[in-house]
Structure 1
Amino acid sequence: MADYIVIADPEGMLDAAAALAAGEGPAAVDVERASGFRYSQRAYLIQVFRRGAGVFLFDPPAIGDMSALQEAIGDVEWVLHAASQDLPSLREEGLEPPTIFDTELAARLLGHDKVGLGAVVEDTLGITLAKAHSAADWSTRPLPQAWLEYAALDVLHLIDVRDALAVELAEQDKSDIAAQEFHSVLTRPAKPPREEPWRRLSGLHTVRGRRSLAVARSLWQAREDYARDEDVSPGRLVPDRSLVAAVIADPATKQDLARLKEFTGRASRTQLDRWWSAIEAGRAAESLPLERTPGEGLPPPRAWVDRNPPADVRLKAVRPRIEQLALDLRMPTENLLTPETLRRVAWAPPEPLSPEAVADALAGHGARPWQIERTVPVIVEAFVESVQPSSQAPETAS
């Protein structure tokens, strides 16, 4: 295979954009980030392929203004694999597709056993892709030629894959389903930031006491600020387990912290003053976090039998029916209806119960029209049967 070059200047961008604009059909687009290495989730390489134009590899940090690419392909369908992962990084660069075809999502809807890019390419085209560099640090410069070849292959076959999957979708009468799902991915609003993101610290459940939690919060924030400033993944500076170990050890002095063998990481000693200041700040905090926060979501289904017995009966009645419907449609259950949506409707169904009311409830939770059309009859039937006397009669000893 020919060597690939990375376009890293505005002039090269304009030439590539002109070639892509003159191409034919959809544009295959992929993004390489440096997850696990950098703090940001920005694109460090964007790959684009279009028939009649070829493959182009762009270096967004070096180019800066990517508007020429948007102008070149901004009026055609973009083909991506697992689009929800790449769209935020593309939008950060000012790149917005008008419509998408998501090959990963299409494979799910079609019931493919494996939906990774390599597996889908092999299933549809019989071509084997090596995935040797999927976890590489794509902020590396210069990028090795082997990495560039891998990146190019991620888009080189994607249009052919799209066409093959489109035929399968038509054969299974799922073209409209896929179109609704693609539109949902494209228009889905970004999730709001967590109110207390520090609570995602791995191992935090072993920390006891509100004051200790305040120290954990302070250490997490200090690491987050430093990671953002240095554009380094927080865990590469000091791992979660090290922060938690420092909280539990409760060192009396900065020297005690330095001697703590569990406190590791490349910045654990070089930034010792930073971590010690964070510990002191946590100890002096006036506002202490709650040991347990009231959950915004529903209780786990195992608790429903005590917390909401009628809901428990409804969920146990409807869940296997939805699973069977998904099996009949040859797709994963979560693509037919997310477990969270089903639980919410089972926990508090509309009153009075009717197909129209259940349809409105599902729509309110983000279900698409095709999902509503297929699941409402099943849900209503299960809910009605769940309140029949026979379902509530106590068991008698034999």
Structure 2
Amino acid sequence: MTDAQETAADTSLRTTGGAPPEDDGSSAAGAPIPLLEPREGIPPVVADDAALADVIARLAAGSGPLAVDAERASGYRYGQRAYLVQLRRQGAGTALIDPVACPDLSGLGEALSGVEWVLHAATQDLPCLREIGMVPERLFDTELAGRLAGFPRVGLGAMVESVLGYVLEKGHSAVDWSTRPLPEPWLRYAALDVELLVDLRDALEKELDRQGKLEWAREEFDAIATAPPPEPRKDPWRRTSGMHKVRRRRQLAVVREMWETRDRIAQRRDVSPGKVLSDTAIVEAALAVPAGTHVLATLNGFGHRMGRRQLEQWQAAVERAKALTESQLPQQGQSVAGPPPPRAWADKDPVAAARLSAARTAVTALAERLAMPQENLITPDTVRRICWEPPKAVDAESVAAALAGYGARPWQVAQVTPVLVDALSVPE
């Protein structure tokens, strides 16, 4: 694009609210430009097999990477399922698909196998996409690319503004996407989320290449694409907000019984668990272990708006916890493989504590030199594990092998091994 064409495009954007040309990956000069309308307008929502087949054929005939996004309703519905899928590819335009009406999108995934998918914060969307048959073979994560490139703010809106010079309207990010029909302003917002994703990808690829980090990013993207689905979380009730206040095993049992009761109700009603009963209320009940509904009703979260049947339901969960034998009560603290919490290291193993302190200092300094977050350079858990149980021979080969065994990518191993060898050699 010539300078004159780019100026004309920017002027058109300022006056019409349209989107930039497909190949415009450069940052707009001057003040950021509001992006108000998708360049081809808001596409109709695909909600039947015939329309889906047409969209699949159109996207398969397109060229270049595929921009992908998904909208969930986790604050309103049970689980993390997708309620709208947005796609865009050069030559095919934007498509909006209703995965409730079209729950099997495996045909789309097959038609686009081998195509690079561009997502922002891929690990957030991949689980719900996997549920409907969409699994990428290759991907580019624009959020992770921004982290590796050292951008201080890596949300999609912030990245589009700082890199491309356009402002995305983000007012509908937390709406109930299970609503049907979806209002037009929401659909406009959803379409704009993929409007510039490939442009952003192209600009970030150039920046990563300039910094010498492009191969590092590709290793990270490959690791995300090939990672197996996560294992179901053990004892998910332990993640109840405010659990740090619960000290006794009987109280832990109350949390567990009430959490599991809430989860069953939420799943049956298809609503977010927090809409059934708040975490605050569960913890309040656990701390009080109420003797009956008359006491339960006085606690925060169980006020006058709660009916008698609901109070009885929650009190029944409390009574089940009270009836457990000592051996049936949950243990205080979750059993986790690996080293103890770092705060306990000084008492349990002062030498390991010294190694950890030295390693943290060295890794932090290296991350600052490389201009990226420390956790993207190497996970804190990996640092803890290798400091707690270092290789018998503290040399580059042994430390590199240990890092690889903990899942570190080759670029991470190459960067971190030298500083960890020094840190693990701290005199006893």
Is the TM value for this pair above 0.5? Answer: yes
Map residues 281-300 of structure 1 onto 2, 5 A cutoff: 281-286=320-325, 287-300=328-341
Compared CA separation, residues 270 and 346, structure 1 to 2 (3 A): same
Letter matched to residue 231 of structure 2: P
Aligned to 2:189: 150
Select 1:263's aligned residue among 302, 314, 318. 302
Is the 1:66–1:94 Cα contact (8 Å) retained in structure 2?
yes
Map residues 130-145 of structure 1 onto 2, 5 A cutoff: 130-145=169-184
Map residues 7-22 of structure 1 onto 2, 5 A cutoff: 7-22=46-61
Work out whether 1:109 is the aligned partner of 2:119. no
The Cα of 1:259 is off from its aligned counterpart by 5.0
The Cα of 1:357 is off from its aligned counterpart by 0.8
CA displacement 1:119-150 (0-9 Å, x = unmatched) = 11112211111111111111111111111111
Distance across 2 between alignment mates of 1:231 and 1:268: 20
The Cα of 1:268 is off from its aligned counterpart by 6.6
Work out whether 1:86 is the aligned partner of 2:128. no
Distance across 1 between alignment mates of 2:148 and 2:304: 42
Work out whether 1:315 is the aligned partner of 2:356. yes
SS of 1:232's equivalent in the other structure is coil
SS of 1:192's equivalent in the other structure is coil
CA displacement 1:13-72 (0-9 Å, x = unmatched) = 111111111111110000100111111101000000001111111110111221332233
Distance across 2 between alignment mates of 1:144 and 1:267: 33
Aligned to 2:213: 174
How many residue pairs match? The answer is: 387
Aligned to 2:404: 363
Map residues 296-307 of structure 1 onto 2, 5 A cutoff: 296-307=337-348
Work out whether 1:378 is the aligned partner of 2:423. no
Aligned to 1:73: 112
Letter matched to residue 6 of structure 1: V
Work out whether 1:121 is the aligned partner of 2:160. yes
Is the 1:242–1:262 Cα contact (8 Å) retained in structure 2?
yes
Letter matched to residue 92 of structure 2: A
Work out whether 1:98 is the aligned partner of 2:137. yes
Is the 1:31–1:46 Cα contact (8 Å) retained in structure 2?
yes
CA displacement 1:273-312 (0-9 Å, x = unmatched) = 4223222222222311123444434333333222211112
Compared CA separation, residues 267 and 61, structure 1 to 2 (3 A): farther
Work out whether 1:347 is the aligned partner of 2:380. no
Work out whether 1:326 is the aligned partner of 2:359. no
SS of 1:36's equivalent in the other structure is coil
Letter matched to residue 225 of structure 2: L
Identity among equivalent positions (%) equals 52
Is the 1:77–1:97 Cα contact (8 Å) retained in structure 2?
yes
Aligned to 2:278: 239
Work out whether 1:64 is the aligned partner of 2:103. yes
SS of 1:62's equivalent in the other structure is coil
Compared CA separation, residues 332 and 249, structure 1 to 2 (3 A): closer
CA RMSD of aligned residues (A): 2.0
SS of 1:56's equivalent in the other structure is strand
Distance across 1 between alignment mates of 2:284 and 2:116: 50
Compared CA separation, residues 265 and 88, structure 1 to 2 (3 A): farther
Compared CA separation, residues 206 and 174, structure 1 to 2 (3 A): closer
CA displacement 1:208-234 (0-9 Å, x = unmatched) = 433332222111111011111111111
SS of 2:168's equivalent in the other structure is coil
Work out whether 1:202 is the aligned partner of 2:217. no
Structure 1: 5+ residue stretches without partners: 393-398
Is the 1:236–1:266 Cα contact (8 Å) retained in structure 2?
no
SS of 1:217's equivalent in the other structure is helix
Aligned to 1:396: none
Structure 2: 5+ residue stretches without partners: 1-36
Distance across 2 between alignment mates of 1:268 and 1:373: 61
Aligned to 1:395: none
Letter matched to residue 350 of structure 2: P
Work out whether 1:183 is the aligned partner of 2:222. yes
Distance across 1 between alignment mates of 2:303 and 2:406: 44
Is the 2:302–2:311 Cα contact (8 Å) retained in structure 1?
no
